[in-house]
Amino acid sequence: MNKSKADKILKTGTSRQKIKLFMEDVALFNTFFIETREPALTPEQRKEIEDLFLFSTEKPYYEKLRRWNKGMLFYKPIVALHLAILYQVSIRLESKAVASTKERYGLQGINTLLDLYPDEKTRDKALSIAYKSSMAKSVERYQENGKTYLRATKELYKDEIEGWLKQAQDQTWLVKSYLSLLKYMTDRKRLPVKAYRDLIKHQETELISLYEKCYHSAIIIDRNRGIKKARAIPPYEKIEAEVTQEDLDELEGILAQ
Amino acid sequence: MIRKNIEQALRQGSIKQKILLYMNDLAIFNTTYDPEKHLLTDKERTVIYRGLKTPQDIKYYNELRTWVKTYNFYNHETRVLIERVKAHKQALLQEVLTIEQNRSYRDIINELLDLYPEKDSREKALALALDKSELFKLYQEKGFSPYVVEDEDHDKSKRAEKRIRTTIDKLEEEAKGLRVILALLNQITEERLPLKPYKKDREEREEQAREELQQVKLMVDYINEELDCSLKITPYDEIELPEAYSVNSVNKESALPYE
């Protein structure tokens, strides 16, 4: 919110507008971090509004916004925590994608060397050395044009990748569900505060990006394992994360505390 | 706290002692999330709450309540930041494994080179290995055949170094944030909310942050040695705190409804 708009509301706005401005300021504090926050109000202006709503007939309006703010504060860090966990999963997959690409280059180099041996006996010996090396657990022999080469096994990282993708799906579903609840709380009828809405938008963009990144990394790993068919990325939009009655009941319980 | 002492405090303690007992009970829940670990029964809590009569009692209760909210608000941020530090640590671990992997390929390629019976085919193979891998350069000692070694100046190695540097920068940024918030929590538990459960919780989280960064330092030292670079990570206790940090910047609505 720009300063002149805030000043105008303070001078000529209604009590409701002032209370909303107060909550906008609160939300700005809650969505930005310590030194990066840019409050809409000065401490004096904040005090001025506080004094006003203590005796205003609009106090119930303030209490209503305050109540939803409480809900927002309860769920906001949960979303951030689960996003951080998803970020961790995406980093794991991304790192593994880099490692598997390097492994593919390494094996390509070895296979090229194998073709340069003048006799079968030395070639077999070289193949055996390479196979028995530290990578033996991750590579397999295969035949092409009557010759044996090495490649990463299709099973390599399989369980890890599937496990991480499952975790990525679970976290995405969870964060999307919480974001639906935050959208519900910040809709026109409840706490229509821009700073929170911007935060939700920002978090959802981050969520989609991390979710897709996880799958893109898995596709790179698959390709490096010799799996030609790219796995499909389940569309984010199809992840069902509607606000349920159960969610609303839980929210009511929290707000009632 | 022993049950006998609790009952004695409930019977004969001052209202201030009772409020502290109430807040300790709440602190145990807020730091363990275990409803079984409560010090007080629902009835005892209600009795204390209803016993708040004078403005001074209410003021003291409300002050502690505000700091509980503040503690919870910042504590959640530390949990998020620790997860983010862990994520970057994971990325660095993968870089360490990749260095090991490259070394393993280097050894295999050199072993395979020694199998070529003729100098010509060995040289051809060596040239191909250098060309294909893009990770190695030629190395030869006087009187010995040439071999491959890691090429720190190659674009790919430079890219790896840049990637590692970016990861460390991100990690440092998160660690700095973590240090500031833990310092705020320290200030809160020392000056405003002197309750053991919060203090213990904060100390544990601080120890976790310290350990995570210690592990990162070991990885960075390894990477520096292997890639011949000079990356740095600031140990947790050496992260400088900005001059302008204070719990007084906390807005009264900026808290969690846990009490």
φ, ψ of residue A228 to 5 degrees: the values are: -80, -35
End-to-end Cα distance, chain B: 20
Helix (H) / strand (E) containing B148: strand B147-150
What pLDDT, on the 0 to 100 scale, is given for residue B256?
A: 33
What pLDDT, on the 0 to 100 scale, is given for residue B255?
A: 40
A125 chain-B contacts, CB cut-off 8 A: 115
What pLDDT, on the 0 to 100 scale, is given for residue B259?
A: 26
Contact B257 A255 (CB under 8 A): yes
Encode chain A in three state secondary structure: CCHHHHHHHHHHCCHHHHHHHHHHHHHHHHHCCHHHCCCCCCHHHHHHHHHHHHCCCCHHHHHHHHHHHHHHHHHHHHHHHHHHHHHHHHHHHHHHHHHHHHHHHHHHHHHHHHCCCCCHHHHHHHHHHHHHCCCCCCEEEEEECCEEEEEECCCCCHHHHHHHHHHHHHHHHHHHHHHHHHHHHCCCCCCCCHHHHHHHHHHHHHHHHHHHHHHHHHHHHHHHCCCCCCCCCCCHHHCCCCCCHHHHHHHHHHHHC
Contact A91 B88 (CB under 8 A): yes
Binned average pLDDT, 10 residues per bin, chain A of 257 residues:
78 89 86 59 83 82 90 89 94 90 85 90 92 74 92 84 96 96 94 92 96 96 88 94 87 76
Contact B244 A91 (CB under 8 A): no
What pLDDT, on the 0 to 100 scale, is given for residue B3?
A: 81
Q: Does A1 touch chain B (CB under 8 A)?
A: no
CB atoms within 10 A of CB A211: 24
What pLDDT, on the 0 to 100 scale, is given for residue B247?
A: 52
Below-50 pLDDT ranges, chain B: 249-259
Name the A residues in 50-109 with CB < 8 Å from any B CB.
Answer: 66, 69-70, 73-74, 77, 80-81, 83-85, 87-88, 91-92, 94-96, 98-99, 102-103, 105-106, 108-109
Q: Using one digit for the tens of pLDDT, what is the confidence trace for A76-101?
A: 889 999 999 999 999 999 988 988 88
Which residue in the set B98, B107, B117 is minimally distant from A99, CB to CB? B98
**Domain spans in chain B, listed from the N-terminal domain onward:** 79-241
Of the residues A31, A86, A91, the best mutation for testing chain B's interface (the one with the most B CB atoms within 10 Å of its CB) is A91
Of the residues B75, B96, B112, the best mutation for testing chain A's interface (the one with the most A CB atoms within 10 Å of its CB) is B112
Residue appearing with tokens 């606000």: A243
Measured in angstroms, the CA of A14 and the nearest CA of chain B are apart by 22
DSSP string of B217-242, one letter each residue: HHHHHHHHHHHT-------GGGPPPP
Contact B254 A81 (CB under 8 A): no
